[in-house]
């Protein structure tokens, strides 16, 4: 059974929400919505619901990062139960596609993550062998996987001449035997024992010192009847599709399809595999045209619970996945790159997904209309925060002189040691605002989508550590970002229509200031729209409920105190390091992990930039953590080899380089400012200016009547750029010192 381990007790709105959700499930209520405000402890509520209902649970998140975060929290809550992680095992994925307009075919390119692939297989095995399992997954859960019926058959059945290979066990039956089988147990790459067991009872009949295993067939590579039938079906579909193309006069697609499929058939006959074999999944699964694919959900028992986190994003994502996949593959089929059966290698559509789940709990601070309609717009509310913090105060201000107004607010917050987030509507506007603030010596950084995940996290960490006072962004700081230092959120163009300024988006953005007791939000707009009004009214409603609760219980709101951690390390790597420390990995796997971390650290050091050195430091810290484990001398010597003072030397080089560049930059600025003053003086002093020359070279007038000297303008721009470089360098140096 599930056993929740925690030092905390539900408080605030949590007890009421838990009681209502559990009662609903026990009474057979299939769908419920938890409307939980930011920072109210929704994950803790989920854990208590799992504990009290004792149902195997699937938790869906809308991205890998959030899934990993929930996975780690659930592992902490349920240390004695199986908590598994199931996401896409592709680090990089470029799907096969064709663009008819430009006649460009794009082949499939992937980079698989072996560690995640193992975790996926571990998840399937856990669901087959144990009834009490919690699986945290991304939308990868709606994509095809093994047929669970076949998976179970292979798990249980052992026939003459066949074997089963598991992590530390090989089970096989000799081709002429019918009453008993053999098991070879392996530890750390060495055979521990060989046992002979009864096929019916599984009892040990004997323990052997050695065994001779002959081939099960006369020759290797004999075709099975099942594969022969599959190949025949594929050839039949090929013939039908070619005839269709010929009838329409499409000879090039017919020729293209013939060549592609015949190559695949040849590979399948010779090797049992071909590139893009997943496009024939319908035949290998034994499904009919249009039949629902087998997915992770098919491995759960009938009464399982599905929790959909951030449902306002995850549910539309499920729908979009199917539609996007269908559109891309229809084009491939139309132009002869794939057979129509490729359309059946697909994710679930929305209707199929909801048909497979039993009990559903939708969790969000801003549930969508789809899920609210399921409960007649009567969600279970969780508004009160355990910390007593209130939703932020909201002001609406005019857009006139809005940047000057923001600058005054930033100065006030900086004196208090508090931080500011600015939300713009476009990339160009964000960049312009960030540049403008930098020119006024405000410590600001622009967070944009082109930054790698590591760089985004480093930027957020730098804000928390005091390197920056302001972050400017568009849509990157909403769900899942926890910044207690932020006391002010400024939303520009709050009255503009669009999905970035709808009621739900505004509520999510407003929530970023709810972790600080001084939290405020300023909406810059020239009119109050329905979306703005909806967000303001909902925030004020929640704020009033929170104030009344605090008053009744004598609670004084306290800003959340959260230690600043360097989160540069990939969460999966951090998890592997933790498993290695606990002795849950084999020696060869630990060696592989150490080498991988060491290599990554060396590559980061070679880049010689403050950001790369911060990343190198994260890899080094992981190696130091590994050193605390109980490992063999070989692993320890390998760790010591990587933990030589290379990083310290690299930091010294960067500091020397930055010091030199800073001195050189200051010299250039002084020199150019001096030249600028001389230029201005020579243009305005009549004693030092030739009359004829001054008449002939009189500067042109611009639209405002001011002199416009091209060379002077160019020089001014160069000085401004140098000043900008100086500010950026100063920020980098401070970041380096903090790290």
The answer on pLDDT for 558 being more than 50 is yes
Mean pLDDT of the region 206-216: 74
> pLDDT tens digit string along 20-42?
999 999 999 999 999 999 889 99
> pLDDT tens digit string along 660-703?
555 555 555 556 556 556 555 565 555 444 433 333 334 444 44
User: pLDDT > 90: what percent of the chain?
Assistant: 45
Q: Which tops the pLDDT comparison, 282 or 204?
A: 282
Helix, strand or coil, per DSSP, at residue 554: coil
Task: Write down the mean pLDDT value for the chain.
Answer: 81
Contact 527, 495 (CB under 8 A): yes
Weakest mean pLDDT among 135-144, 177-186, 504-513, 595-604: 595-604
pTM of full prediction above 0.85: no
**Range with the largest mean pLDDT of 203-207, 288-292, 607-611:** 288-292
Q: Which tops the pLDDT comparison, 608 or 67?
A: 67
Q: What is the largest CA-CA distance in the chain?
A: 116
Mean pLDDT of the region 467-473: 90
Q: Which tops the pLDDT comparison, 72 or 481?
A: 72
Eight-state DSSP code of residue 441: T
Strand-pairing partners, residue 423, are 473, 491
Closest CA to 58 of 380, 420, 246, 301: 301
Please report where in the chains the tokens 């010091």 appear, as a residue: 659
> pLDDT tens digit string along 111-151?
877 778 878 888 888 888 788 999 999 998 898 886 676 65
> pLDDT tens digit string along 611-630?
566 667 777 777 777 777 76
523: phi then psi, degrees, rounded to nearest 5:
-100, 115
d(CA 185, CA 27): 47
**Helices 710-738 and 646-684, axial angle in degrees (round to 10):** 160
Q: Which tops the pLDDT comparison, 599 or 306?
A: 306
Closest CA to 481 of 369, 567, 367: 567
> pLDDT tens digit string along 148-171?
766 555 555 566 767 776 656 788
Q: Please give the full DSSP string across 36-87, using - where no structure is assigned.
A: E-TTS-HHHHHHHHHHHH---EEEE-SSHHHHHHHHHHHHHH-TTSEEEEE-
> pLDDT tens digit string along 534-551?
999 999 999 999 999 999
Mean pLDDT of the region 272-293: 88
Contact 551, 423 (CB under 8 A): no
426: phi then psi, degrees, rounded to nearest 5:
-135, 160
Q: Where are the alpha helices (DSSP H) in 553-628?
A: 571-581, 587-607, 610-627
d(CA 303, CA 295): 17
Please report where in the chains the tokens 């048909």 appear, as a residue: 355
C-beta atoms surrounding 315 within 10 Å: 23
d(CA 272, CA 265): 9
**Range with the largest mean pLDDT of 237-251, 264-278, 589-603:** 237-251
Contact 363, 42 (CB under 8 A): yes
Q: How many CA atoms lie within 13 A of 132 on its CB side?
A: 13
> pLDDT tens digit string along 370-397?
999 999 999 999 999 988 999 999 999 9
Q: Where are the alpha helices (DSSP H) in 628-709?
A: 633-642, 646-684, 691-696
């Amino acid at each position: 059974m599930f056993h929740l381990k925690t030092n905390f007790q539900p408080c605030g709105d949590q007890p009421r929400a838990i009681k209502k959700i559990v009662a609903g499930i026990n009474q057979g209520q299939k769908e419920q919505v938890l409307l939980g405000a930011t920072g109210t402890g929704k994950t803790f509520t989920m854990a208590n619901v799992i504990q009290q209902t004792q149902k195997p649970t699937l938790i869906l998140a809308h991205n890998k990062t959030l899934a990993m975060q929930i996975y780690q929290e659930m592992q902490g809550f349920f240390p004695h139960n199986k908590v598994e992680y199931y996401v896409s095992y592709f680090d990089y994925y470029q799907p096969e596609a064709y663009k008819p307009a430009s006649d460009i075919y794009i082949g499939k390119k992937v980079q698989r993550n072996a560690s995640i692939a193992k975790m996926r297989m571990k998840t399937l095995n856990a669901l087959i062998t144990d009834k009490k399992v919690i699986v945290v997954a991304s939308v990868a859960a709606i994509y095809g996987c093994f047929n669970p019926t076949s998976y179970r058959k292979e798990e249980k059945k052992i026939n003459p001449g066949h074997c089963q290979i598991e992590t530390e066990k090989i089970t096989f039956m000799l081709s002429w035997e019918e009453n008993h089988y053999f098991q070879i147990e392996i530890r750390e790459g060495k055979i521990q024992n060989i046992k002979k067991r009864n096929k019916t009872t599984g009892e040990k009949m004997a323990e052997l010192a050695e065994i001779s295993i002959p081939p099960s067939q006369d020759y290797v590579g004999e075709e099975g009847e099942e594969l022969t039938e599959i190949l025949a079906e594929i050839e039949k579909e090929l013939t039908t599709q070619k005839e269709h193309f010929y009838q329409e006069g499409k000879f090039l697609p017919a020729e293209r399809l013939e060549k592609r499929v015949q190559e695949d058939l040849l590979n399948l006959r010779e090797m049992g595999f071909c590139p893009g074999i997943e496009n024939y999944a319908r035949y290998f699964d034994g499904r009919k045209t249009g039949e629902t694919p087998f997915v992770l959900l098919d491995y759960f028992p009938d009464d399982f619970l599905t929790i959909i986190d951030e449902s306002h994003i995850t549910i539309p994502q499920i729908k979009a996945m199917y539609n996007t996949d269908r559109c891309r593959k229809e084009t491939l089929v139309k132009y002869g790159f794939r057979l129509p059966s490729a359309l059946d290698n697909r994710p679930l559509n929305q209707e199929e997904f909801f048909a497979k789940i039993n009990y559903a709990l939708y969790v969000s601070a801003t549930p969508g209309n789809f899920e609210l309609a399921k409960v007649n717009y009567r969600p279970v509310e969780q508004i009160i925060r355990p910390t007593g913090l209130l939703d932020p105060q909201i002001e609406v201000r005019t857009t006139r002189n809005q940047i000057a107004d923001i600058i005054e607010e930033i100065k006030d917050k900086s004196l208090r040691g508090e931080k500011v987030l600015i939300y713009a509507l476009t990339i160009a506007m964000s960049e312009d605002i960030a540049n403008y603030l930098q020119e006024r010596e405000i410590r600001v950084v622009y967070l944009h989508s082109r930054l790698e995940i590591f760089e985004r996290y480093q930027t957020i960490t730098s804000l928390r550590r005091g390197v920056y006072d302001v972050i400017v962004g568009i849509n990157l700081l909403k769900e899942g970002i926890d910044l207690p230092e932020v006391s002010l959120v400024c939303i520009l163009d709050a009255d503009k229509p669009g999905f970035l300024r709808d009621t739900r988006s505004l509520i999510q953005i407003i929530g970023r200031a709810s972790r600080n007791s001084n939290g405020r939000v300023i909406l810059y707009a020239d009119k109050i729209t329905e979306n703005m009004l909806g967000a303001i009214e909902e925030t004020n409603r929640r704020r009033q409920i929170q104030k009344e609760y605090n008053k009744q219980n004598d609670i004084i709101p306290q800003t959340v105190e959260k230690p600043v951690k360097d989160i540069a390390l990939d969460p999966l790597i951090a998890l592997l390091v933790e498993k290695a420390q606990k002795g849950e990995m084999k020696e060869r796997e630990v060696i592989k992990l150490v080498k991988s971390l060491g290599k990554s650290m060396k590559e980061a050091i070679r880049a010689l930039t403050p950001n790369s050195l911060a990343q190198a430091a994260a890899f080094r810290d992981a190696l130091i953590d590994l050193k605390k484990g109980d490992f063999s001398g070989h692993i320890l010597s390998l760790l010591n080899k990587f933990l030589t003072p290379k990083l310290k030397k690299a930091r010294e080089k960067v500091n020397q380089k930055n010091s030199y560049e800073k001195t050189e930059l200051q010299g250039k600025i002084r020199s150019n400012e001096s030249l600028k003053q001389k230029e201005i003086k020579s243009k305005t002093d009549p004693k030092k200016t030739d009359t004829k020359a001054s008449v002939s070279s009189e500067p042109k007038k611009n639209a405002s009547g001011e002199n416009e000297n091209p060379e002077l303008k160019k020089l001014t721009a160069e000085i401004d750029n140098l000043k900008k470089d100086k500010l950026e360098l100063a920020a980098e140096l401070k970041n380096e010192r903090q790290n």
